[in-house]
Chains A and B, each alone.
Chain A
Amino acid sequence: MLTIPRECYEKIIAHARADHPDEACGVIAGPAGSDRPERFIPMQNAERSPTFYSFDSQEQLKVWREMDDRDEEAVVIYHSHTATEAYPSRTDVSYASEPQAHYVLVSTRDEAETEFRSYRILDGVVTEEPVQTTE
């Protein structure tokens, strides 16, 4: 189960909408071991592509170091699909390497409605989980 503050949920959706038709991506950091996503960190999509995303490696180092300094970890790693469903692709699965993270997929393929789904991806296995927003 992903429990996420409403504000973070809305920021992810707004980011995905703003970057459409390119894929948007980012992190929500939270206290290490807490499983609480709290701090929204949108990232540049270094691929600037409608079908691929990657974190710029230098930006990732900066963000990961900052999380380490603050005793945080990446609780949510999110990205958007702009023409396909909000489900992890084989590429998404092959790259998923943060075992504690909830992988959030957003789809902006429909103009009116944004799909928001969350998954655990461990050892190449995808398990969808329910999403609960909190105030």
Chain B
Amino acid sequence: MAIEVRIPTILRSYTGGAKSVQGSGSTLAELLVNLDAEHGGLRDRLVDGENLRRFVNVYLNDEDVRFLGGLETPVADGDTVTVLPAVAGGSVSA
């Protein structure tokens, strides 16, 4: 089972510089656990406890998984998961 996962520049230190890695799982949650086995520490940059961190956007093919099932979004062979750092900020310190 192969799901392509596209990794942004800032997280490529976990993948030995690779911009794309392969993983498996039937949900996004499982996929991230699977990826973390080979790229230790990657999952922790994306997930905080049981939730996706607000600093990252994760997409299944063309859609932000926040509009699908979040970490429970089903994934399948042939899907592409894309990770992008969220771009945000403001004039008031959070």
A residues at B contact (CB < 8 Å): 23, 25, 47, 49, 51-55, 57-58, 60-61, 64, 77, 79, 81-84, 88-92, 94-100
Which residues does chain A contribute within 8 Å of B86, judged by CB atoms? 54-55, 57, 60, 95, 97
Q: In the complex the two chains form, what is the Cα distance from A94 to B86 in whole Å?
A: 11
Closest partner residue, chain B, to A55 (CB atom): B87
The listed residue with most A CB atoms (<10 A of its CB), out of B64, B87, B90, is B87
Q: In the complex the two chains form, what is the Cα distance from A92 to B86 in whole Å?
A: 11
Tell me which of B32-40, B54-62, B68-76 binds A: B54-62
The size bracket of the interface on B is 20 to 34
- The smallest beta-carbon distance between A73 and chain B, in angstroms, is 8
- The smallest beta-carbon distance between A30 and chain B, in angstroms, is 15
Residue B51 lies at the interface, judged by CB distance under 8 Å to chain A:
no
* A-B CB pair tally, cutoff 8 Å: 87
Q: Which of B55, B62, B90, B93 contacts A61 (CB 8 A)?
A: B62
Contact A99 B10 (CB under 8 A): yes
Contact B64 A57 (CB under 8 A): yes
Contact A57 B57 (CB under 8 A): yes
Which residues does chain A contribute within 8 Å of B64, judged by CB atoms? 57-58, 61
